[in-house]
Amino acid sequence: MNKQAFTLIEIMLVVIIIGVLVAMVVPNLAGRGDQARKVAAQTDIESNLSAALDLYKLDTAAYPTTEQGLAALINQPTAAPVPTKWSGPYLKKKKIPKDPWSRDYAYAFPGTHNSGEYDLFSLGPDGVESKDDITNWETE
């Protein structure tokens, strides 16, 4: 009788090889989720929301005030100064995106970090103002 089957040693060798491969790959993938969230927030700040704010300014001659906030990109503001040439909504999905940690982006106009412009930022993974914030201004 000529049976062909794997021996216990062959099976153990395959398991060891898979274990070594996993040990090499997993450390490289660890931390990529947080890095991807930071890149997504930076993209929202530097591209999506900034483009919408610039379009708003082109139509209304000014950025929304801090009180009007990012909601002015979706609905015409009713708080002073009420823009007369509002042509929104300025965001394609007609809703203000949340940052990758499911929190609102912070917005201020006039900005304290960008004089004459606006400050736009996410509080990052920890949710408090700190060095890990993702901002539209240069940080140290």
> Among candidates 64, 42, 74, which has minimal Cα distance to 118?
64
The reported pTM is 0.74
Overall size of the chain counted in residues: 140
Q: What is the C-alpha to C-alpha distance for residues 41 and 71, in angstroms, rounded to an integer?
A: 18
3-state secondary structure of 119: strand
Distances (CA, A) of 94 to 1, 7, 10, 70, 75: 72, 62, 59, 11, 9
Domains of the chain: 33-135 (3.30.700.10)
Mean pLDDT across 7-18: 83
Q: Has residue 31 got a pLDDT over 80?
A: no
**Per DSSP, what are the bridge partners of residue 121?**
106, 135
CA distances (Å), origin 24, targets 13, 17, 139: 17, 11, 34
Range of lowest pLDDT (1-5, 38-42, 77-81): 1-5
| CA–CA gap between residue 30 and residue 47 (Å, rounded) | 27
